[in-house]
């Protein structure tokens, strides 16, 4: 049910974010659809946790009075599946930038990969990627990075609660991971490569859960907008 009164009272929409879309693209698309359908000049819409353009999967979008609850959703654990490319690194720790260094992988075995993954489970500190939206001196880190500016980054306290290797088909390693708020899977990819005595970057990522919310119950943004337009 998506009548205006219901939307104003507040809803949490489960959206399956497409590849290449930013989280704000999704928010703007939904807001525009609501404004156009009900001939409004403004309406509150916000997301509860950024998902990178190169990632797909679950995005919680709060509308109406539900925007007041965004903070409580941002603090929930998150689950991801994806793949690491072993034997190379990129400045962004993913496919946003080109490979800048290659590493030997002859010593890497499936057993070493499994053991290394287990060593990452627990509370720890993690450095966010330089290509991220974390702010330093009033600017986002990626703004410094794209200008070639060096900036010192402070580590964050995070927790990796589960880290499962699903398959090893070198140079690709498929994984599932459950993490606390503030964890960067791109940084995990980089750190994982270093721990293997090699290098790695994130080659694919999909967010599957946020707390008890599951991407299986999410709807594609284009389908939501199309259905919304046709409702009477």
Q: Hey, which residues are catalytic here?
A: 52
Residue 74, H or E segment: helix 70-74
Instruction: Kindly provide the b/e burial profile for residues 3-40, where b requires at least 16 CB atoms within 10 angstroms of the residue's own CB.
Output: eeeebbeeeebbbbbeeebebeebbebbbebbeeeeee
Radius of gyration of the chain (CA): 19
From start to end of 11-86, where are the E strands? 11-17, 45-47, 56-63, 78-86
């Amino acid at each position: 049910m998506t009548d205006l009164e219901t939307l104003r009272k507040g809803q949490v929409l489960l959206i399956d974010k497409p590849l290449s879309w930013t989280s704000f693209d999704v928010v703007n698309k939904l807001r525009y659809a609501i404004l156009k359908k009900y001939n409004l000049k403004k309406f509150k819409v916000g997301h509860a946790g950024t998902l990178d353009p190169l990632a797909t999967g679950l995005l919680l979008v709060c509308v109406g009075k539900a925007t007041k609850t965004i903070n409580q959703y941002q603090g929930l654990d998150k689950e991801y599946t994806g793949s690491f490319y072993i034997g190379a690194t990129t400045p962004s720790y993913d496919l946003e930038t080109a490979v800048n260094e290659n590493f030997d992988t002859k010593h890497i075995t499936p057993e070493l990969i499994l053991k290394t993954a287990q060593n990452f489970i627990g509370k720890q500190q993690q450095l966010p990627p330089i290509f991220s939206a974390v702010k330093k001196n009033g600017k986002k880190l990626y703004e410094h990075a794209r200008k070639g500016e060096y900036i010192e980054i402070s580590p964050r306290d995070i927790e990796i609660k589960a880290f499962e290797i699903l398959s090893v088909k070198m140079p690709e390693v498929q994984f599932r991971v459950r993490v606390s708020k503030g964890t960067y899977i791109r940084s995990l990819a980089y750190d994982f490569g270093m721990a293997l005595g090699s290098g790695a970057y994130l080659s694919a990522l999909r967010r599957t859960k946020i707390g008890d919310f599951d991407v299986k119950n999410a709807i594609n943004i284009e389908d939501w907008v199309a259905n919304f337009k046709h409702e009477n």
